Amino acid sequence: MCGITGFIDYLSKSHSETLSKMTNTLIHRGPDNAGNIIINNQYQIGLGHRRLSIIDLSNCGSQPMSDETGNYLIVFNGEVYNFREIKTELQSLDFKFHSTSDTEVVLNAYKKWGMKAVDKFIGMFAFVIYDKRSNKIILCRDRTGVKPLYYALMPNLILFGSELKSLIAHPSFEKKIDFNSLGSFFRRGWIAAPYTIFESTYKVKPGYYLEINLNNRECIEHCYWDVHDYYKMDELTISFNEAREHVHELLKSACEYRMVADTDVGIFLSGGFDSSTVAAILQKNRTKRLNTFSIGFEEDQFNEAPYAKSVAAHLGTDHH
């Protein structure tokens, strides 16, 4: 988990200290490193990043990251699990890489295919790209909204970040309660995207990206993925055994993708169906014992630790 933040200030009144303050509100998301950059044109663009190092632990994976030409900059939160396959494709198209990070792959994929690149990504992500050539900024969120991305629209200022607290750190942000959202919170216990608790402040919706034209200040929302498209597809004419095998292969592929990291990977194991299935798929055919973790409770009705311990013993994981 990393943290991204920044601003577009059309009046150029923001300061580097403000960007640092916004970035540092996200230190709990990224304790390993921090990076900030401000670009001054007819306006100011600030990009901030707090890093939790998972892939490419070296400084080559630090952000904000730019391409060789300096025409494209990115701050990225999340993981694109199939980045190695995409990197191989880009290398066959003569793209050069200076790191082993998925961030550089995302940036070069955008450089090659534009926002069509997102169709290739398997993962969870939120990213902001500054495209100098087109003079626009892209705010993008993954298909199901695993990674958060907020933005605030003001007459001469746009703020964005992984959490609302990074937006609040900017002195021009006004904490005005949106009473429609407040009513929604009392009814549901949560506030549906794209709304937030504050006026003029929104979430980028899952499966969407926001395109901000810096020439005319136009903000256009694009949907690149909608689960309803899959609900409407024709049913597969396959047998139950074929469906079972297909689901098993999909689960194996999804679980193995999430083992891609330059650090140790652990599994939260409750002893229930979901986590036990994930642990079983990943431990099978591995000689190294996987690390599994569980948290117990003193109250018997809430305590799943004995079930987790039994599953871990059956699978042969290194249980904690």
Kindly report the number of other CB atoms within 10 A of residue 113's CB atom. 14
Q: How far apart are CA 256 and CA 276, in angstroms?
A: 15
- Mind telling me the catalytic residues? 2
For tokens 């926001």, the residue is 210
Closest CA to 101 of 227, 260, 222: 260
Give phi and psi for 185, each to the nearest 5: -65, -40
Q: How far apart are CA 87 and CA 75, in angstroms?
A: 18
What does the DSSP assignment read for 195-248?
Answer: B-SBTTEEEPPTTEEEEEETTT--EEEEE---THHHHTSPPP---HHHHHHHHH
Task: List residues bridging with 319 in a β-sheet.
Answer: 292
DSSP helix/strand/coil, 164 = helix
Give phi and psi for 317, each to the nearest 5: -85, 165
